[in-house]
Structure 1
Amino acid sequence: MSVSKKENVFVASRFVLPEHREMYLSMREDDKLVPMPILEQDELESFHYQLRDAGRENYAVAITWWKREKNGLGTTCRMWGKVEWVDTNSRKVKLLTDEDVQWIPMDTIIDVRS
């Protein structure tokens, strides 16, 4: 397997300061950031219906949401669990797994799968 010099900049150079390496890796992470997807109103309504139904009928769902990182860009996160609570006042969903509890803002949800 061949690795280009551009991708293998630290192997090509024997002496790299830790702060330069950290800055380079940070820039590579920034390349992975994406803008928040724009969803249609019917998609959002479908997600809200699925979340309420999953909470009422007690079945697990996989929720994908967008998390802001910097400069209006972010990453997508995904979690599978039971919808414990849908708080319509603060517009958050409480998702419960065996190990974790996560409050997910409803305005950042980009997909719900049962």
Structure 2
Amino acid sequence: MSKKMQGNGLFESSRFILPEFKEAYLANMKEQERRGKPVLDDQEVQLIEKALIESYNRRTPVTVTVFNPFDDEVLTGIVTALNTNLREVKLIRGEDDFSWIKLEVIISAAT
């Protein structure tokens, strides 16, 4: 008698994964790679704010690292607007390419 016909062999030999289960498994694996936002001390926050204000006043490029739970994003551009109420800056990266970035997601900035 073959092994497929003994015990649980028939079920064990016919395993397959539904696409929904595969997607859920891959999503779960990606979620496990998530990391927490680093805590910045006051001195680092002041250096970031200084670099952003300097870029705004002098219209010089600044390189900003934006936190992402999976992979940090590095952006380079010129700060053209500071919104103190919403605590965000407008970074112009190209001719028509700009983005509003919240200050709490910026983890480093350098001119």
TM-score strictly above 0.5: yes
SS of the equivalent of 2:67 reads: strand
Amino acid at match of 1:107: E
Amino acid at match of 1:108: V
Moved over 6 A (4+): none
Residue identity over aligned pairs, in percent, reads 28
Please state if 1:80 is matched with 2:76: yes
State the structure with more CA Rg. 2
Aligned to 1:106: 103
* Structure 2 CA distance for aligned equivalents of residues 105 and 18 of structure 1: 37
SS of the equivalent of 1:81 reads: strand
Pairs aligned (count) = 95
Once the two structures are overlaid, the 10-residue window that deviates more, 41-50 or 86-95, is 86-95
Amino acid at match of 2:28: M
TM (norm. structure 2) is 0.74
Kindly state the Cα deviation for residue 57 of structure 1 after the two structures are TM-superposed. 1.0
Kindly state the Cα deviation for residue 17 of structure 1 after the two structures are TM-superposed. 1.8
Which has more strand, going by share of residues? 1
Q: Deviations over 1:59-82 (max 9, x none)?
A: 111211224xxxxxx343322211
Aligned to 2:30: 29
Listed as ranges, the gaps of 5+ residues in structure 1 are 1-13, 68-73
Aligned to 2:6: none
Amino acid at match of 2:34: L
SS of the equivalent of 1:35 reads: coil
TM (norm. structure 1) is 0.73
Which has more helix, going by share of residues? 2
Q: Deviations over 1:19-76 (max 9, x none)?
A: 1221122122112211110111011011001000011111111211224xxxxxx343
Kindly state the Cα deviation for residue 15 of structure 1 after the two structures are TM-superposed. 4.2
